[in-house]
Amino acid sequence: MTEVSFHTNVPHPLGYACRLLRKATRQGARVVVTAPAATLAALDTALWTFEPLDFVPHVLAAPGAAVAERLRATPVWLLESPADATHHEVLLNLGARAPEGFESFARVIEIVSTDDEGRAAGRQRWKHYANRGYAIQHHEVKE
């Protein structure tokens, strides 16, 4: 069964996602990040600029577009739809709703911001997973 983790109380979700992705790639994990297009574009920029001496290898893929063969081994994929993923190791959701097809991944990570809208959406995602019988791990972030 898919392992679900919630990281809550995150004041800067994109910065947190960058650090989380850096840690994951250093440990050899392959991660699909799903979110709306604007969020993925902002994350793409943040991954290039968040640390001057670090680089998190990633590819921003257009919906339904084939990723070039030479890029397929890239450990982080930014996708609007997880259905376009070629691997199903870790799914990081930066969207407001639980992503369709999440159950095909070994692990799902949800990031919940500190603002009221983000918290409300996070509660709905938590209920979505809990109502389907998933055990949820909770990590409260203290930044």
At 63, the pLDDT band (50, 70, 90 cuts) reads confident
**What is the predicted pLDDT for the residue at 143?**
63
Concatenated DSSP letters for 12-73? Answer: -HHHHHHHHHHHHHHTT--EEEE--HHHHHHHHHHHHHS-TT----EEEPPTTPPPPGGGTT
Average pLDDT over residues 26-47: 97
User: What is the average pLDDT value for the chain, to the nearest integer?
Assistant: 95
Percent of the chain residues past pLDDT 70, beyond the cut: 99
Contacts of 118 (CB under 8 A, 6+ apart): 13, 112
pTM score: 0.95
**What is the predicted pLDDT for the residue at 132?**
97
Q: Which domains does the chain have, with CATH numbers?
A: 3-140 (3.40.50.10110)
